[in-house]
Chain A
Amino acid sequence: MQDIFTFAHYVYSTARLTSECTIVCLIYVERLISKGNVLLLASNWRPIVLTSLLLACKMWNDLATWNIELAAVARQYTQGSISRMEQAFVSCLRFQLAIGASEYAQYFFALRGLTEQRDFKRRFKAALPQHIPSASGARTPGAAHDVAAASAKLESDVYSKSL
């Protein structure tokens, strides 16, 4: 659960997704399991979540994330791989990507209803990592913080001089 949250949070924060994409992502994953008869396993949850986040962003946002941007975010997947994953995903869903307002609201309130479980907050906080890697790198300790600061400085230099 830590890894799922860390991975999803990294993709979310780095690719600058919107918050609704998280719910739409879950809808797509559950559609893939139910309609596509795909098992969500420990070996394939990363590409499934990544592709569902990409599709959620593409379907939900007007200015969507491009595959090449996601390939830059998730470096172990090339742009072609992401495109093929996207193609396989939508094929399993039979291109049924439309989400009604009622379905979105159902999932939203269902996720909200998870709070009502006993000991949910305590168990979830116990499972969460202490430091969540963020895109800004403000809380990243050590060398990674230096690299993030250097990258930010480089970015500002490039903006100020070339653009």
Chain B
Amino acid sequence: MNPDFKNALYSPKLVLRRKPSREAEYFTSTKTVASPIIPQRLAYKSPRSRRAGVDGVLPPKHSTLIAPDATDMLQRVAVVLYQHVLRCERAKAGLPAAAGPRKRRATTTNIPSLDLPPLQPMEATGMPSPAFGAARAAGAQIPSLVMAPLHPQLTREDSDMAGAAIHGKSTSREVTSSALLGDSKDVSTPAVLPNTVSAAAAADIGIARITSAADLSKLDRALLFGAEWSREPVTTMTPTAARPVATAIRTRDGHQIEASQPRSMGSSTPRLSAQPPPEFGLPSAPPRMRNSMSHTLSPATMALGSSALPFATRTHTGASKQSEYGRDEDDESHLFHEAQFLRPQFDLSFYRGPIVHLPSFYTIKVSLLAHASNVPPCTAQACAFTDHGARILAAYGAGYFHFRPLRVQHCPPHV
């Protein structure tokens, strides 16, 4: 082997001669900059002036390291991210950094500043404004141009496209990876897209018909972040407590769960169209018992487990399956899970919590029945069902449902 090549591999001088990366010009990680460092030479302290032992100071389970104060940490993270944005904007504009790259400093009792820039408007610094607060300020006055001031490269055409997206027209402007990377050269995916409206999102919000400039202003403000960003534009109905609420669980084919075929016993996956198991196979219920149980499975029945589901675990003769299969089949803890999530007869009243796990082929519809009957069905894409009036459409097909009124949609009379 060439000795020079060997030296080139292992020489620390050559390693140190590497070309400095571009990131060093404008970015240094926070842990490098702001981590407290113990000086290499500690000043001598007499035993009387030394600190007490750590064991007597720190409560182990109440440390903020384990459970940080979220708001406080968010404030600090916001400060750091704001600095990164400033530096990256300067790097993009080709301007030198205001205070140079951050350097690591040893932590002492008198810790120097982290070069936080003074809180002044960006226009005073001589660089194009990142428009942190300009969007909200401009949007309050000109709602149709809410999207525009976020970036100086936005034109009126972009504003019109964003407006068209709000109105639910077929404008396919969605956030893509190039938008994430801030690539503003691509016209189809400009860098301002994170602040604009995608077509699908506009279709969701576009269910509420836009009839006036005030509605458009509401939607615009709803699509921006800020204090006004709430469910105000889409939550337009407030049902009274007297209105009955009905639930219906359907399969993906639209059949009622109660009317579908029970799955074959012993299977871990639901088979809605499965045939009844053969006589010599896994134990099945007597016909009388199965008919009586299929529609009356209650939460208490679920919780009781095997004693309430005799046909699922016992043979006709009542013998345990342990002798037949050589393992302890009386351990039916898994049936509790299956009875909750996989049996087609399961009852939603079992759940009191806000989160329900369901297989992906279930569709849950929670609709408010008592409503004005003169409202024709809404044909918007987000309204997958054809009942009238206000509705709460939780989710579909994801197997994970929040039973919170995420979208309370008011369907106006359809034209």
Q: How far is the CB of A121 from chain B (nearest CB, A)?
A: 10
Establish whether residues A162 and B75, one from each chain, have CB atoms under 8 Å apart when the complex forms: no
Q: Which of A10, A80, A92 contacts B229 (CB 8 A)?
A: A10
Q: Which of A23, A107, A153, A161 contacts B245 (CB 8 A)?
A: A161
Q: Is residue B56 contacting chain A, with contact meaning CB distance below 8 A?
A: no
Report the Cα distance A116→B33, complex, angstroms: 13
Q: Is residue B73 contacting chain A, with contact meaning CB distance below 8 A?
A: yes
Q: Is residue A138 contacting chain B, with contact meaning CB distance below 8 A?
A: no
Establish whether residues B238 and A150, one from each chain, have CB atoms under 8 Å apart when the complex forms: yes
Instruction: Give 1 or 0 for each of A120-163: 1 = CB within 8 Å of chain B CB.
Output: 10011011110101000100100110011011011101110111
Residue on B with the closest CB to A102? B31
With contacts A33-B27, A46-B194, A68-B398 known, is A137 near B35, CB below 8 A? no
Contact size range, A? 35 or more
B82, B180, B228, B407 pick with most chain A CB within 10 angstroms: B180
Chain A: interface secondary structure? Answer: helix
Q: Is residue A4 contacting chain B, with contact meaning CB distance below 8 A?
A: yes
Q: How far is the CB of B96 from chain A (nearest CB, A)?
A: 16
Q: Is residue B59 contacting chain A, with contact meaning CB distance below 8 A?
A: no
Establish whether residues B80 and A51, one from each chain, have CB atoms under 8 Å apart when the complex forms: no
Task: Determine, out of B41-49, B84-92, B315-323, B337-345, the stretch whose residues face the partner at the interface.
Answer: B84-92
Q: Which chain B residues lie closer than 8 Å to A155 at the CB level?
A: 404-405
Q: Is residue B198 contacting chain A, with contact meaning CB distance below 8 A?
A: yes
The B185-244 residues at the A interface (CB cut-off 8 A) are 191-192, 194-198, 200-201, 204-205, 222-223, 225-232, 235, 238-239, 241, 243-244
Interchain residue pairs A-B with the least CB separation, the first 9: A42-B130, A88-B177, A19-B70, A5-B78, A110-B34, A116-B111, A39-B88, A81-B175, A106-B31
20 more contacts with CB within 8 A, not counting A38-B181, A43-B192, are: A1-B119, A3-B133, A4-B85, A6-B225, A26-B81, A41-B182, A45-B85, A47-B175, A75-B204, A77-B198, A81-B175, A84-B174, A84-B176, A105-B65, A110-B30, A112-B76, A116-B111, A129-B227, A148-B230, A158-B366
Residues of B within 8 A of A (CB): 22-23, 27, 29-31, 33-36, 64-65, 67-71, 73-82, 84-85, 88-89, 91-92, 107, 111-114, 116, 119, 130-133, 150-151, 174-177, 179-182, 184, 191-192, 194-198, 200-201, 204-205, 222-223, 225-232, 235, 238-239, 241, 243-247, 348-349, 351-352, 354, 366, 392, 395, 398, 400, 402-408
